[in-house]
Structure 1
Amino acid sequence: MTPTFALFAFAIVSCLGACAALAWAQREENRRAREEMRSFLEQIDRRDS
Structure 2
Amino acid sequence: MRCQSRLARTLPEDQKPECRPYWEKDDPAMPLPFDLTDVVSELRALLLEVKP
Please confirm whether the aligned pair reaches a TM-score higher than 0.5, indicating the same fold.
no
TM-score range for the pair, normalised by the shorter chain length = 0.3 to 0.5
Question: Per chain length, whose mean CA-contact separation is higher, i.e. which structure has more relative contact order (CA < 8 Å, sep 6+)?
Answer: 2
With the length of structure 1 as denominator, give the TM-score of the two structures: 0.37
Which structure has the larger Rg over C-alpha atoms?
1
Task: Name the one with the larger helix percent.
Answer: 1
With the length of structure 2 as denominator, give the TM-score of the two structures: 0.35
